[in-house]
Chain A
């Protein structure tokens, strides 16, 4: 009878920090080049793009239409209250928007970057005051609570602002991912290097796009994130998003104990390593693993080619969501790769030693951080 055979377990090799730094500086992709990888990354990004489209619409709907609504019972219905939609909602035959909220909360909670700094500024507080005034005018509960809990409403407005900003960010990413899939179908993209390049071009193109947000109360518009705040796509939302969701993440109740005495969670959020690039795909769909929701959403929007590819591997349909998670991790390495490539302080190939040094330091910082991530998924063997 069998003993534990080698094919039951495998451990991918992990490239060293030096190797990662070299790849970044040399303009090589982190993810190894292989036709399978192209299929996985483009396919999973396509379904992710479709899911993000729904997430983005809903977050923007929530921030604009459900602003400070104490009982947002229909917040996931995007304003469509037809019986069919309500039935689908009750039957849980829908996108899991809870995951979008989860990412928003992660961004809000980790609080890095320009958006967060603006939310703490006096300018923001000045904008909040008239909004609260307007809301209090015809809401007894808020009239009562606001003086007792001074930060209650501002905190909710910050949440709404982050929600809207994330919605705008995902709008861009969704279009980018769906365009990528179209480009691949059209034959314009056939390698991982081209994938990373398309993503980089997309991010660079959107980099300076302004992030703004205003709410309407009683037919009057109130700015929350005004254009004057100068918040932009890449620096103020994309980078904090990568920090909060790709890198730091939140500890999962299903794998980490919150017990204070056990001290499994670092008191310093900067030390967190629970993000998408660090996550273990194997427990996907288990209890207490929030990204399961995203994997389910992507599963429901999987392109046929990728689905067929999954069906031929390991348990086929049985563990398809674990495989989606593994592919998703590869895709997120590509997105990270593109983001790093697009944010080098100086153009690659510059001959200025100072510029070279700065680029090197930038690459090294990223490489050291990524060295402990799940880089074992990067090799071509899968």
Chain B
């Protein structure tokens, strides 16, 4: 079968290798072996391999377009009944995701060349982005759960290293730690699910797992049926990984803190990383039938994330954080779509959100690069001076909000149309989230781009071409998103929703924009004097005190347990040992068997041990024989 396939498809295993090879190619500069010259060759090499990955991906897409989906598998490791393979599932959906990943990675890397132009550790940054991209591009093509888990963990590691890029900055230290640990908790729960599935179902290929899950659910199958508790636990384990990756409540904290990392990494993190997490969840969707509980949890988590994320975003004064919470919110909507068995809507939403959010973060990066400031209260009046940045923001906002006929408008329309009869509540969540997002984007736009210039925005020339070019390219791409969506999803067509639905979506967007334009901006920042309002403001601005809650519960619990164990270890376990030691030495003194030195005490111990041992042996064996 493999022999008949064209070369680009046979060489599909190269796709993740491109990104990973960027790591190796960057090493001479990242490690400082090249001392006299600067790190930029590493940048060019990484851009080159990313371009190769994109080009190779495009070739494969063309071939698959002609031949239909293909599946390639390479054996990685086998032992006894365990067979682990590297599998690629070359469907158009996966390839579209691959193209999204490589294209955004390319644009973000290009953007970073301008954003980090005075950064001496560029090579390390690009090595990490290469690692990131390698793991991501393998993940979206992965055809088996083991490889998906493998690469998800690598993503966790690369997120840690990217967030920790400015390792000397105090808040980065905690941010990198929290990002890793939060995701790691999700990953370990996922690992439990993966290990359980591997042991129970045997194969790790998604298609085999679907078959197994259907069987395990089938009541007519007497033997292979899975206990409901085990099914539920596995389901919960499986969704925990994507929950962590997609920054869903209550595992969303890391995304806020991860904003301490370099902006080009934030571009990728808020677009393709969360998307990859959701794609894994999509692949796991048929398995969730094992566990109705997991579906319920998905719905609850998605709803809370969507609404609370949007509300918390409203109260942020930090430019990056105002939008990172919105990522949590949109991924919440994706979770709802997946839980309600709407994979098409989920996919389209991931695509339009990914592109628009990447553009939004590019625009944000331009603002930060120009003003050295991310505080909304200190920004203003950039609109008439930064054409590329301003239009990027406007287009990205339009792409995110269901109002103008760009990406998310059609997604929301399809989503509401699909679920409003069976689940009106969740249709309401979509519409309400749209309203809140429109409100948030409008108020941020006003405070950054409109109004009078502030001291920090008084001199704000447009960013250099290295940042402007990818930003403008992506702006065009976001404007073209509806056409892309129409190509990907011809049936029933992206406009397949009724007029009332269209009015509801556009209306909610319009109301959001309206409120956002009318509110007094300062009421958001200055804390209100009225106690209840002030309480709500603080609650939202500080993200429901989630970090404090964590600190008081899980962190305190583990730390307490660790201290307790350590105390036991020192006082009790070691104390007993020391006591015995002292006693034996003392008795040695008393018996005048030994004068001094350790060898004597050794001999003594040996003698005592033999005596004790033999006597107890004879006694026990005697008992047993009798």
Contacts and interface: CB of A to CB of B under 8 A. Distances in A.
Interface of A: 70-73, 90-94, 96, 98-99, 101-102, 108-109, 111, 116, 145, 148-152, 155-156, 158-159, 250-251, 253-262, 264-265, 267-269, 283, 285-290, 292-293, 296, 299-300
A125 B157 CA distance: 52
Contact of A293 (B118, B260, B262): B118
A113 to B, nearest CB: 13
Contacts of A71: 465, 469
A155 B166 contact: no
Given A94-B38, A150-B384, A151-B384, A260 B317 contact: yes
B390 A159 contact: no
Contacts of B461: 108, 155-156, 158-159
Contacts of A259: 171, 259-260, 318, 321, 374
Given A152-B385, A260-B318, 13 more contacts: A72-B465, A98-B117, A102-B118, A152-B386, A158-B461, A257-B170, A259-B374, A260-B317, A260-B377, A261-B317, A286-B120, A286-B121, A293-B120
B202 interface: no
30 contacts: A70-B465, A73-B465, A101-B117, A102-B118, A116-B459, A149-B384, A152-B384, A155-B385, A155-B462, A158-B459, A158-B461, A159-B459, A251-B372, A257-B170, A258-B372, A259-B321, A259-B374, A260-B318, A260-B321, A260-B376, A260-B377, A261-B317, A262-B171, A267-B375, A286-B120, A286-B167, A287-B120, A288-B165, A288-B166, A293-B120
Q: Which 4 A-B pairs have the closest CB atoms?
A: A92-B38, A260-B375, A260-B318, A287-B121
B459 A108 contact: yes
A99 B314 CA distance: 37
B387 interface: yes
Given A90-B41, A151-B385, A258-B373, A287 B166 contact: yes
Nearest to B43: A92
Interface in B360-376: 368, 371-376
B124 A148 contact: no
Contacts of B165: 287-288
B458 interface: yes
Contact of B378 (A109, A251, A257, A267): A267
B169 A256 contact: yes
A287 B124 contact: yes
B378 to A, nearest CB: 5
B319 interface: yes
A155 B453 CA distance: 13
B168 A292 contact: no
Interface of B: 36-41, 44, 117-121, 124-125, 165-172, 259-260, 262, 316-319, 321, 368, 371-378, 383-387, 390, 455-456, 458-462, 464-465, 468-469, 541
A198 B237 CA distance: 73
Contact of B373 (A116, A155, A265): A265
Contact of B168 (A116, A145, A258, A288): A288
B50 to A, nearest CB: 17
Contacts of B169: 253-257, 288
A258 B374 contact: yes
A290 B385 CA distance: 26
Contacts of A286: 120-121, 167-168
Contacts of A72: 464-465
A74 B384 CA distance: 28
A296 B259 CA distance: 29
A258 B316 CA distance: 14
Given A150-B384, A287-B165, A261 B541 contact: yes
Contacts of B373: 258, 265
A111 B459 contact: yes
Contacts of B120: 285-287, 289, 292-293, 296
A99 B118 contact: yes
A149 B449 CA distance: 12
A287 B122 CA distance: 8
B465 A288 contact: no
A98 B372 CA distance: 16
A155 B121 contact: no
B154 to A, nearest CB: 21
A5 B173 CA distance: 27
Contacts of A253: 166, 169, 262
Contacts of A269: 455-456
B37 A93 contact: yes
Contacts of B166: 253-255, 287-288
Highest count of chain A CB atoms <10 Å: which of B169, B317, B458, B462: B169
Nearest to A109: B459
A152 B40 contact: no
A187 B464 CA distance: 46
A108 B124 CA distance: 30
Nearest to B261: A253
A266 B197 CA distance: 54
Given A259-B374, A269-B456, A290 B118 contact: yes
Nearest to B541: A261
A378 B250 CA distance: 52
Contact of B41 (A91, A98, A102, A152): A91
Given A262-B171, A286-B168, A287-B120, A90 B40 contact: yes
A296 B120 CA distance: 9
Contacts of A289: 120
A287 B168 contact: yes
A46 to B, nearest CB: 19
B318 A92 contact: no
A111 B168 CA distance: 29
A109 B39 contact: no
Nearest to B124: A287
A257 B390 contact: no
A59 to B, nearest CB: 15
Contacts of A158: 459, 461
A82 to B, nearest CB: 18
B119 A257 contact: no
Contacts of B375: 260, 265, 267
Given A260-B319, A260-B377, A92 B384 contact: no
Contacts of B318: 259-261
B453 to A, nearest CB: 9
A62 B541 CA distance: 44
A287 B462 contact: no
Given A72-B465, A96-B38, A253-B166, A149 B459 contact: no
Give the most central of B38, B317, B378: most A CB within 10 Å: B38
A219 B38 CA distance: 37
Given A254-B168, A292-B120, A293-B118, A91 B37 contact: yes
Contacts of B455: 268-269
A164 to B, nearest CB: 14
Contact of B36 (A70, A260, A300): A300
